[in-house]
Structure 1
């Protein structure tokens, strides 16, 4: 290796974040930062790390794509029979992390999970490209398969089966919505003295806003 991993570091200095600068509602503050990330044309600004809990209490993570912010929930879509789908149905709590390195920003979200309505899932399903709709039928997500040919054969069969007609949404495919109980905004600062502002949900619709040590 040309450089020690321990020596890899970057000093952050683009912006600052103060309690008096943030909006009172963290979802609106997230939308503000998300708009700035998309306006900066960051690649996959809606990519987020989703953490779930396995049946034996171990953390599990992967990257998924945010597909909506609706009624103060963060929405994404997946196969309900996938590993993450089963874990969310078993333990309906999750953590999301967004990292926009170009803006030196991170957002962490923790909250309770529920299924999106079948009607909303169907509406989104039919907004997807036709190939993606077929893909939702093709893949037994997270299950062991013999080889890629298995998928390609299934894709060919289903493409023919649905030729010339609307593709129905599979019952095993749909959305999850995370309703945040805590949202933390992180802005990189020099010398690792980063700004961290955390919102914590209280009874009703109120949020407590606090600064955390980096």
Structure 2
């Protein structure tokens, strides 16, 4: 699977804007990400097999899960402060709150995202090569004015992202009820790039729809040094 990269100058360096091209048919038709629990009656196929660490998965169970669902790789979701032994079979761990699990899965399910601004599963795999432990953050706003929504949400999002230290990889998902104009995308991207001083950080963007009327949201996972 290949993708196009559109380079945009930023103070002498470039940032990668990734747009999908031709994908393997299997990866087109299979959900990019799905959540699995040990007691499920049905284990549908997915490319990124996600599981909640506190559900008690061990290495053998994870190996069986990966084979059963045909996953290319596995991602663990940590919803508490418990310790978990790092396993080679797991591509990465995303820390989030219990009520944010569905949001993480939706963010990673890039096959359902907009193809106007989007990434593919190969890019997600590259993102997880930036580190082992990721943090999840999100911000949203509702209102009548689209420009105000984008500004309020972006400011809230940036204030959360500013608490991170030396970000190595960042994936941002934008949500709106309709297709975003490129100006909105550029506003978010400019704010993110102004914050990040590390020239080597890999930044990926995607957009998807939401059922919430007059709303705009940003979701992200990032790896720190």
Quick check: which has more Rg, 1 or 2?
1
TM-score bin (small chain): under 0.3
TM-score (norm 2): 0.23
When normalised by structure 1's length, the TM-score is: 0.24
